[in-house]
Structures are given as C-alpha cells and as structure tokens.
Amino acid sequence: MRETNNMNLQNTLEFARQADKADKLSAYRQKFLIPQHNGRDVVYFTGNSLGLQPRTTQSYIQQELEDWAKFGVEGHFLAKNPWMNYHEYLTEKMAKIVGALPEETVMMNQLTVNLHLLMVSFYRPTKQRYKILCEAKAFPSDQYALQSQIKFHGLKIEDALIEIEPRNGEYVIRQEDIYEAIEKNKDSLALIMIGGVNYFTGQVFDMKAITEAGHKAGAIVGFDLAHGAGNLKLALHDWGVDFAAWCSYKYLNSGPGSVAGAFVHQKHLKNTELPMFAGWWGHDKKTRFLMDKTFVPMQTVERWQMSNAPIFAMAACRASLDMFDEVGMDALVERSKRLTAYLEFIVEEINKTNNSCLQIITPKENRGCQISIVANGYGKPLYNKLIENGVIPDWREPNVIRCAPVPLYNSFEDLYRFGEVLNSLL
C-alpha cells in the first residue's frame, strides 16, 4: 500500500472500483463510445493517438447533414448553426484549453499544414540568424517540416538544425541541456520549435522557461502541442509563446484526421510586415465577399486561414469542446494526476514479482497523462498479447509500451485490469 495524492493505493479491484465511485468525474466515461472485446469495454490507453468518440458527436454532425439536405448552399446563412463563420463556435472554448485569448486562437487545416504556414511567417533566416533548435527524435512529421523549411530557404540541414538529445544511457532530455544549447547558439538562433510533450517518452518540457530563454537569445519560439492540448494546463498567452499548433484527434476527441488548431501571440497580430501565404478566408470578413484582388488580412490569428471551414470535422470537434468547457482543464488535470499516479503504482507492483522488467521512462515531475514503459527483454509479441486480451496501449519499437489514462473516459478499474493482464503475460 502507498499513499499518493491523499489516496492509500492498493492493487485490488475493490480499491479501483471504490476510487471510481468516489471520483465525481467518473460519470463522464458514460458519455463516450468504448470499443468492445468479448462483450466488455476494452482497456483503451491510446487517447494520445486517437481519442474515443463522444456519444454526442453523431448528433452534432447529423445536424449539419440535415441542414445541408434542407438548405443546400443557403445553409451558410440558414442552418441552425450557420456555416459562414462556423469556426467561431470553437474559438473561445479552444482558447480556454490552451490558455490563449480568442483573437490568438483558430481551428483550421491539419497540424503539419499549420506548422508550415506559421513557419512561413516566423522562420525568417538571415545570414546571421538561421538555425532552428528542436528536440532529437521529435515526431517525424515535425522533423520533415523543419528539414524542408531549411531546404526551402536554400540552407543545409546539417548546418541549420540543432537537435538536442538525451545524454548517453538516458531517455529524456535534460532541461539544462536545452538552455545550454540556446546560449551556445544565441547569436545564430532564429527559431526554437519543440514538441511541448515528447510523443515517445511523454516528457513535458518547461515551455515557459524555454520561451524566456529563447527570447533572451533573440529567437522566435513555437511549440507543437499535439500531445499537450487537452492534456496539460497550458498558458500560451501568459508564457509569451510566439506561435503554436496542435491536432484535435488525440486528447481533444474530434475524430481521425480532424481539424487542427493554431495560436499566434497577440503581440504579432498587428504586424502587417509579417510574410504569409494568403487565402480568401484570412481576408477581412467585412469585405471578403467584395472579391477585391488585394488581400486585406484580418487582425487576428484568423488571417492565417486560407480556406473556409470543414463543417463536419468542426462539428465533431465542437461536440468534444463543449464537454471540455463543461468540465474545465483544472478538474481534468487533477484527475489525470490521480490516474497516472495509480498507473505508476500498478507498474511498480508488477515489478515486485517480475524481476523489475518494466522501466518507466516518463519523468514523474514532468508528465501529463502518458506513461511510457520499457518492457526489458520483451518484444512486440507482448503488445500483441495485450491486444488479444482486450487491452489497447500503444507500441513503439523496440520495446516501449505507451499508456495514456485519459481523465475524461479512463477509470481506475481500467488501470487495475491493465496490471492484471500485463502481469499474467510477463
């Protein structure tokens, strides 16, 4: 037994069920559709890859299908939720989740598209300042985006890209190594672009401190928040982050490939000198339909929009954001900490009878709801066996199991069942 967050943790089904019963947010699990295995809910730990479907999503999308059938093109004005400015239904609630002002927040495109569009404006290499600092082994799409931006500007990747790696024998990047690299390259650094949460290890970076260090060095600072939005308590505006982008299909439960988000700090919004790729939905909405050939940018982050809203994707996103707004990030983060602490406890209990074969590589003090576990001596057949037994975590070669107990729909009983199955397989 161990006491954590005022809970005396026990590796028993009775404890898990009592913990769920005492948790006021446990009821939200019933608001999601959970995949089934042999007639019971699976243990679903891959909300960090694709979140589960809220039960309300179908009705949100159905409303737009019905209005399309009923009104055709006039649905832009006559639909129950007129499509003309549909993205605005998402803005305020999304801004709360990422800690931003509404004018700094917009839902548009997909994640890597948004990163490219933002780097058009914020990666402006000069002869003196041209380097980009990022984490080594970032999500591949980020690496491809950074490399292609460097090549687009006629620079060499090996000269312009600084990748911060964990030290030998370690899995996570030390924060002081990031600061050291910033200081070392302060005269040539143009951009810092890091994932707020490392997708592989689950390590959460100190975004506020990195932003301060980057600005002190004269660099622009941006973050990929694919694993941060809806998972962490963020404060992008207060931290002074220059830009950020995120997807909505992981913790934000908006469906596969759904619409992504973008943030640009208020301090940049009036800067008419920022270069950008323009499209008609970024034009001042008061005069957009005069169809003038001269682009007049909106004075919000909406100016980075290029095309009109994907209504069905946004309807799915809206269903989820309404639930987030109802619960609030403070309550979600607090429950996330309790669930993650119990998962950590379960892993430690399993180790007691299995020669400590499981190694948690996610730092205790810098994590969201993801825990990455090295299964020493085991390969992918272990993952396959978990799937066969109704447990769906995520696998990363060569031997890492990623588990994300999402506070909106995972339970303490899920965590107990995971431990029970995993222990039986080791």
Q: Which two tokens stand for residue 333?
A: 């983060």
- Residue 262: what pLDDT? 98
- Residue 99: what pLDDT? 98
Could you give the 3-state DSSP secondary structure of residue 212?
helix
Q: Cα dihedral angle (83, 85, 86, 90), rounded to 10 degrees?
A: 180
Could you give the 3-state DSSP secondary structure of residue 195?
strand
pTM of the predicted protein model: 0.95
- Return the sign of the alpha-carbon dihedral for residues 369, 373, 379, 381: negative
Output the CATH code of domain 2-33+328-425: 3.90.1150.10
Are 102 and 94 in contact by the 8 Å Cβ rule? The answer is no
Closest CA to 297 of 277, 316, 317: 277
- Residue 111: what pLDDT? 97
Are 145 and 115 in contact by the 8 Å Cβ rule? The answer is yes
- CATH number 1.20.1260.10 given to 62-327: no
- Residue 1: what pLDDT? 47
Distance between CA atoms of 355 and 373, rounded to whole angstroms? Answer: 15
- Return the sign of the alpha-carbon dihedral for residues 40, 23, 369, 421: negative
- DSSP letters, 130-174, are -EEEEETT--HHHHHHHHHHHHHTT--HHHHEEEE-PPTT-SS--
pLDDT in tens, the chain (426 residues): 455 554 689 999 999 999 999 999 999 999 999 999 999 999 999 999 999 999 999 999 999 999 999 999 999 999 999 999 999 999 999 999 999 999 999 999 999 999 999 999 999 999 999 999 999 988 899 999 999 999 999 999 999 999 999 999 999 999 999 999 999 999 999 999 999 999 999 999 999 999 999 999 999 999 999 999 999 999 999 999 999 999 999 999 999 999 999 999 999 999 988 999 999 899 988 888 888 899 889 999 999 999 999 999 999 999 999 999 999 999 999 999 999 999 999 999 999 998 889 999 999 999 999 999 999 989 899 999 999 999 999 999 999 999 999 999 999 999 999 999 999 999
Burial-class residue 207 by CB neighbours within 10 Å (0-12, 13-18, 19+).
Answer: buried
Distance between CA atoms of 347 and 361, rounded to whole angstroms? Answer: 12
Residues ≥6 apart with Cβ < 8 Å to 174: 166, 167
Q: What is the DSSP letter of 28?
A: G
Are 197 and 228 in contact by the 8 Å Cβ rule? The answer is yes
- Residue 356: what pLDDT? 86
Angle at 189 between CA 184 and CA 195, to 5 degrees: 95
Distance between CA atoms of 339 and 351, rounded to whole angstroms? Answer: 19
> Which residue ranges make up each domain of the chain?
2-33+328-425, 62-327
Could you give the 3-state DSSP secondary structure of residue 63?
helix
- Residue 133: what pLDDT? 98
- Residue 2: what pLDDT? 54
- Residue 180: what pLDDT? 97
